Amino acid sequence: MVRKKRVARSREDLEKELRDQLWLLQNACGSFDKGHPATGKHIALSLRVLLHHRGQSRALLEQLGLRNQRFYDSAGPLNAGNLLTECDLVGCRISGNGAEYIPLVQMGAPPIPPNKLRFVDWWNNPVLKDNQGRTYCRRELVENVANTDGGAHVDPDLEEAYMDLSRNNSLGWLFSSGDIEEVLGGRPELACIRQIAHELLLTLKEESPEYFDA
């Protein structure tokens, strides 16, 4: 097989790609917020393109030197002394139909406090702990959704901890009303993905506004 020649992109070409990717990400976030949670899978794929830098995968932000800034953190650290499950990227919305997981950005909460982390900490620090003490960081959430659960691929099997989180309520959050007790609706991992996108967009709009439409 003849190996095809590859040609390096110019910085201008990479910058155009970043503008395109941010447009796609914002549109997917808008669709999610309008009640289409499946677009969380497309959000995860966009996050992977922008942030995943390992092996043959070259993060677009790394190629442009934009991963070396500090990123907004809306979750904070896990509480080492807390025996309960934790996931501070999301909350719940209660309605006449019960309750469901939603990203913090949809809760009408005050703006994210001015807490920023180095990228390596923001990307790799645990932000979720399930009922077996298993933790997930932002990177692991994005990789599972994008790589195996409908972002870029649909794998025939899933990592056990991720299966429990996404399908088996390993967060253990319940809604109770009178004699009714039921599992929260929605997909907690997709709500997390939407919140991670919010943090990223907030960071880039502050640090690199030239890549967004006016």
Q: What is the pLDDT along the chain (214 residues), one digit of tens a residue?
A: 778 888 888 999 999 999 999 999 999 999 999 999 999 999 999 999 999 988 777 999 999 999 999 999 999 999 989 999 999 999 998 887 788 999 999 987 666 666 899 999 999 999 999 999 999 999 999 999 999 987 777 878 989 999 999 999 999 888 887 777 888 888 999 999 999 999 999 999 999 999 998 6
Q: What pTM does this model have?
A: 0.93
Please state the length of the chain. Answer: 214
Examine residue 71 and state whether it is found in any structural domain, yes or no.
Answer: yes
pLDDT in the model for residue 112: 62
Examine residue 6 and state whether it is found in any structural domain, yes or no.
Answer: no
- For residues 118-146, one letter each, b for 16 or more C-beta atoms within 10 angstroms of the residue's C-beta and e for the rest, the string is ebeebbebebbbbeeebebbbbbbbbbbb
Examine residue 91 and state whether it is found in any structural domain, yes or no.
Answer: yes
Backbone angles phi, psi at 95, to 5 degrees: -140, -175
Examine residue 142 and state whether it is found in any structural domain, yes or no.
Answer: yes
Q: What is the extent of the structural domain holding 65? A: 11-209
Number of structural domains the chain divides into: 1
Examine residue 5 and state whether it is found in any structural domain, yes or no.
Answer: no
pLDDT in the model for residue 47: 97
Examine residue 2 and state whether it is found in any structural domain, yes or no.
Answer: no
Examine residue 3 and state whether it is found in any structural domain, yes or no.
Answer: no
| Side chain identity, residue 152 | A
pLDDT in the model for residue 109: 64
Examine residue 64 and state whether it is found in any structural domain, yes or no.
Answer: yes
pLDDT in the model for residue 176: 80
